[in-house]
Amino acid sequence: MSILTRPILEINLKNLLENYRLLQKIAPQAKAAAVVKDDAYGLGACRVAKLLYDQGDCRCFFTAHGIEGEQIRPLVPDADIFVLQGIGKDSADSFYRAGLIPVISSPEMLRFWQKNKIEGIKPAINIETGLNRLGFRENELEQLSREEKQNFSLVMSHLACGDEKGHFMNEHQLNNFNQLRQKYFPKLPASLSASDGTFLGRDFQFDMVRLGAALYGINTAPYRESQMKNVVTIKAPVLQTALMPKGDFAGYSATYRASSDRRIAIISIGYGDGIPRSLSNVGKVFFPRKEKLHEARIIGRVSMDNVICDITGIPGIKTGEEAFLAAGFYTLDDMARDAGTISYEILSRVGMTQRYIRREIMPVN
């Protein structure tokens, strides 16, 4: 037994690399671009980009913002870095310094680009096919001059329901994409799919797939057993164990009351570490033992720095023991289901805080 206070974030970069290679096999004719926006969903864009560049031969990256692209540039010197939110007055400097490729989504942004071009860079054009988010609408495509159309290097769009095989939106967007690109950009390399669309088959893969979530172990094809290896493990130490007498309340606002004597553990992790507060009274914490995986229910409200869980009947839990919040046996997808959200949201929060002790499992080079 020892006293420990900090949560632990374990990032399995070996599995991340294997996920990348598996996805390459699923879309063998397409370029496999890596989406490392939002600091690689919180896992560390520089670490991930360098790994995929060095050991996965990845030469194409996507970020959301210019500053994110600039951060990874030194690690991927000759790669294409596309920026999904595009270029603007508040981000143009990053594009110049790092030679980033903007994804242009509107006529206004195109005009900005034309006044602020970077020599040798041909932007991508994003066209709207059904998501009703960023992208040129058809009436705007009609306005493009022949020369303007020739100054792009990639035509792309984005699926709304790629994680639901058989959803009518997939065929609908595929048809829209094919019609529009054949009409306006017949010779341009094309990209429609992120991770989820990659699993929808060759029709959806085109010349490039943009791989984010699945790299990080998220099951973007939830209609079937996950093929991805787990990347993220979250653990935190038991800071204290105690008896909770029958009738007592636990946590803020006294939302849990013990209807019999309980044994509880206080775990040193909370929503300040990215654990969703919506796991209050419904989430789980695990204690893996040789003979059995013990599950303890979170009781009361998740607070900023702690969760309380019910360890009644789990033998021998001591201060300093590591409780598992997420792991291969209970993935971020499972946690997200319990929390009423998606694993993307949890992942993008967890990685942001400096309070974790970070450990990386590296592939053999």
Residues known to be catalytic: 37, 252
Residues in contact with its own copies, shown as a per-residue x/- string from 62 to 81 under the rule CB under 8 A: --xxxxx-------------
In the block, residue with structure tokens 């290097």: 153
Closer residue to its own copies (CB): 288 or 340: 340
Q: Does 249 bind its own copies (CB under 8 A)?
A: yes
Within 36-55, the residues that bind its own copies by CB under 8 A are 37-39
Q: Which of 1, 78, 120, 315 binds its own copies (CB under 8 A)?
A: 1
Within 254-293, the residues that bind its own copies by CB under 8 A are 254, 264, 266, 268, 271-272, 274, 277-278
For residues 128, 129, 133, 139, the Cα torsion angle rounded to the nearest 10 degrees is: 40
Closer residue to its own copies (CB): 188 or 250: 250
DSSP strands (E only) in 170-252: 190-191, 208-211, 232-244, 249-250
Count of helix runs (H) and strand runs (E) in the chain: 12, 18
Within 112-141, the residues that bind its own copies by CB under 8 A are 112, 128, 130-135, 137
- The single-letter code of the amino acid at 98 is A
Spatial separation of the C-alpha atoms in residues 352 and 349, rounded to whole Å: 6
Q: Which of 70, 305, 321, 333 binds its own copies (CB under 8 A)?
A: 305
Closer residue to its own copies (CB): 24 or 220: 220
At closest approach, how far in Å is the CB of 201 from its own copies? 20
Closer residue to its own copies (CB): 175 or 292: 175
Closer residue to its own copies (CB): 24 or 173: 173
Within 2-21, the residues that bind its own copies by CB under 8 A are 2-6
Q: Which of 288, 337, 340, 358 binds its own copies (CB under 8 A)?
A: 340
Within 144-203, the residues that bind its own copies by CB under 8 A are 160-161, 163-164, 167, 169
- How large is the C-alpha radius of gyration of the chain? 23
φ and ψ of 185, to 5 deg: -140, 60
Stretch that binds its own copies, among 49-57, 59-67, 217-225, 285-293 (CB under 8 A): 59-67
Within 218-247, the residues that bind its own copies by CB under 8 A are 237, 239-240, 242-244
Q: Does 32 bind its own copies (CB under 8 A)?
A: no
Q: Residue 259: how many CB atoms within 10 A of its CB?
A: 8
At closest approach, how far in Å is the CB of 87 from its own copies? 7
b/e per residue 344-362 (b: at least 16 CB within 10 A): bebbbbbbeeebbeeeeee
At closest approach, how far in Å is the CB of 313 from its own copies? 18
Q: What is the DSSP string of 260-296?
A: S-EEEEEES--GGGT--GGGTTT-EEEEE-SS-EEEE
Contact indicator for 129, 156 with CB cutoff of 8 Å? no
At closest approach, how far in Å is the CB of 113 from its own copies? 9
Classify burial at 260, counting beta carbons within 10 Å of its beta carbon; exposed 0-12, middle 13-18, buried 19 or more.
exposed
